[in-house]
C-alpha cells in the first residue's frame, strides 16, 4: 500500500492534548493566584492550594500523554497508567467503531487493548485517519511477516 505512513509514526490526540494541557496550566495558575490573594490564608493553606492545583495539572498531563507509536518492529501503546509494547504479529485487528471512545486493538492472545492515543473526542476525522493508517500498517506488517500464518478472513 503506497499511502502507508513512514515509520516511526506517533499517533496522539493533538487537539485534546492542547485542551488538556492548556486547562491544566490555567487551573494551576488560577488556584495559585487565589492562594496568594486570599490574605487570611496561612503559609500551609497557601501551599495546600498550590499543591491541589499542581495535582490537577498532573492528572490532566497524564491524560494528555496517551499515544500510539508504530515503528519497524511493532507498536507501543502508552495509555494513562500503562505502557505496552506489541509486535506487529500480535495485532490481529484495529477497531474504531461508531461510538467507541478510542481505538481497540484485538490481539492474538484473545484480548483487546484500548489505544487511547487514537480517540475521536475533539477531532473525529483525524482519529478516523489515524485508525485507518494504523490498520493499514498492521495489515501490511502482518502480511510481510514470514513467521505469521495467514489469517482466515471468512
Beta bridge partners of residue 67, listed in sequence order: 78
pLDDT at 144: 56
pLDDT at 80: 94
The pTM assigned to this predicted structure is 0.81
CB count within 10 Å of CB 28 equals 19
Parts of the chain with a pLDDT under 50: 1, 145-146, 148-154
Find the helix packing angle between 14-37 and 43-64, rounded to 10°: 180
Cα dist. 99→7, 69, 95, 119 in Å?
29, 23, 11, 10
Amino acid at each position: 500500500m503506497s499511502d502507508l505512513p513512514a515509520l516511526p509514526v506517533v499517533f496522539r490526540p493533538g487537539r485534546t492534548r492542547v485542551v488538556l494541557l492548556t486547562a491544566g496550566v490555567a487551573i494551576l495558575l488560577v488556584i495559585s493566584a487565589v492562594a496568594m490573594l486570599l490574605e487570611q490564608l496561612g503559609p500551609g493553606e497557601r501551599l495546600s492550594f498550590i499543591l491541589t492545583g499542581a495535582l490537577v495539572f498532573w492528572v490532566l498531563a497524564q491524560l494528555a500523554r496517551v499515544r500510539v507509536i508504530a515503528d519497524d518492529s511493532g507498536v507501543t501503546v502508552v495509555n494513562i497508567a500503562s505502557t505496552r509494547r506489541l509486535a506487529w504479529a500480535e495485532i490481529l485487528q484495529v477497531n474504531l467503531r461508531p461510538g467507541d471512545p478510542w481505538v481497540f486493538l484485538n490481539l492474538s492472545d484473545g484480548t483487546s487493548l484500548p489505544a487511547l492515543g487514537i480517540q475521536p473526542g475533539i477531532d473525529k476525522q483525524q482519529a478516523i485517519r489515524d485508525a485507518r493508517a494504523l490498520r493499514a500498517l498492521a495489515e501490511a506488517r502482518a502480511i510481510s511477516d514470514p513467521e505469521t500464518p495467514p489469517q482466515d478472513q471468512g
